[in-house]
């Protein structure tokens, strides 16, 4: 059954544009849809081939992978974004996630979230991956990392960034186009992805998930101070992020040991030794159920901290405006 054509959303129906994120991929804005009367996110790509094929391909991947734990695409933007000049652009229109990404949460908190939230994040990401991998034609994400994990107002997960997604090649030979296409972010890429004869499979995402678990549990970025070329040479040799801190914490927090054991299985050098996404959901479900009773307090603790930090930021800005002399 064919999916319905995505809604075309023109610039005339969007107002209050605010840039919320930019990078090598392009820019993401927040804007209010005048007819829907709520805020949406608009993703504009800067690296396209002139026909917008990469963006339309991402739309198709997101539409195939729509679930409770995967960010839905609401439509395709066509028009001139605020301050963009005279050129017309295409973009993705998506649900606006109030609390940003896991990456922004980590940067703001500068510490590990409470353990119940750690386990819920781990479980919900696994549910999202498992949904993609369980489609009739399994869909590979291939760019799992903290910035690909978006959070709603209650810190629930939805996966995004499907620019590198593609159907699994496990049951078909890799095409010439696929060979050598490692994709992804080097620090989260599996060792086999650095091989020119690499054939994309679901085990790619499982490896990335293992590294992502480490980031969720430590609040840090893997190989944060290493050059990409060094990381690319060490990963195939079996080097992984340090477990020293997690092992110390696991001595006092026994359930954390289960999460450490899972990440070690996920980042095995041999892809055939990694667990399936379904196994990951079952393991993280058990870990989360042990702490589910504390999730409300954990979420409220983090939200209160975020609110206080935002208030402090606004107060600091206001004080700066009061002491800065006006310019003629």
By annotation, the residues acting in catalysis are: 143
b/e 196-235 (16+ beta carbons within 10 angstroms → b): eebbbbbbbbbbbbbbbbbbbbbbbbbbeeeeeeeebeeb
CA distances from 2 to 61, 82, 108 (A): 13, 34, 42
Tokens matching residue 166: 């593609």
What are the DSSP calls for 109-175, one per residue?
A: H-SPPPHHHHHHHHHHHHHHHHHHHTSSS-EE----SGGGEEE-TT--EEE---TT-EE--TTSPPP
Greatest alpha-carbon span in the chain: 69
Tokens matching residue 246: 């997690």
Neighbouring-strand partners of residue 89: 79
Tokens matching residue 121: 């994040």
- Tell me which residue of 218, 232, 320, 213 sits closest to 275, measured CA to CA: 213
* DSSP state for residue 19 in the 8-state scheme: E
Tokens matching residue 125: 């990401």
Can you tell me the distance from the alpha carbon of 288 to that of 226, in angstroms, rounded to the nearest whole number? Answer: 33
The alpha carbon of 269 is separated from its chain's Cα centroid by a whole number of angstroms, namely: 23
CA distances from 157 to 2, 25, 116 (A): 27, 21, 14
* DSSP state for residue 101 in the 8-state scheme: B
- Tell me which residue of 69, 67, 70, 83 sits closest to 29, measured CA to CA: 83
């Amino acid at each position: 059954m064919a999916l319905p054509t995505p809604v075309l959303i023109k610039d005339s129906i969007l107002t209050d544009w605010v840039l919320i994120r930019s990078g090598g991929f392009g820019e993401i804005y927040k804007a209010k849809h005048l007819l829907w009367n709520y805020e949406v996110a608009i993703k504009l790509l800067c690296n396209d081939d002139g026909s917008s094929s990469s963006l339309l391909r991402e739309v198709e991947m997101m539409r195939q992978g729509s679930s409770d734990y995967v960010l839905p695409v609401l439509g395709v933007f066509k028009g001139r974004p605020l301050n963009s000049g005279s050129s017309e652009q295409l973009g993705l229109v998506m649900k606006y996630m109030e609390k940003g990404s896991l990456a922004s949460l980590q940067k703001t908190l500068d510490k590990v979230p409470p353990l119940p939230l750690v386990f819920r994040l781990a479980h919900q990401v696994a549910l999202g991956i498992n949904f993609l991998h369980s489609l009739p034609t399994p869909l590979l994400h291939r760019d799992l990392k903290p910035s690909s994990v978006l959070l709603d107002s209650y810190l629930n997960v939805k996966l995004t960034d499907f620019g590198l997604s593609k159907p699994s090649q496990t049951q078909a030979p890799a095409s010439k186009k696929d060979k050598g296409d490692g994709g992804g972010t080097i620090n989260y890429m599996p060792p086999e992805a650095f091989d020119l004869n690499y054939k994309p499979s679901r085990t790619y995402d499982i490896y990335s998930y293992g590294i992502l678990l480490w980031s969720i549990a430590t609040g840090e970025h893997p190989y944060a101070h290493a050059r990409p070329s060094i990381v690319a040479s060490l990963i195939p040799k079996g080097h992984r992020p340090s477990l020293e801190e997690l092992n110390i914490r696991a001595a006092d927090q026994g359930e954390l040991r289960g999460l450490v054991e899972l990440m070690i299985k996920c980042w095995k050098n041999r892809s055939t030794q990694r667990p399936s996404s379904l196994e990951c959901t079952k393991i993280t479900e058990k870990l989360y159920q042990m702490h589910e009773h504390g999730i409300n307090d954990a979420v409220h603790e983090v939200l209160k901290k975020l609110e206080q930090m935002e208030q402090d930021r606004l107060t600091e800005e206001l004080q700066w405006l009061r002491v800065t002399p006006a310019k003629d």
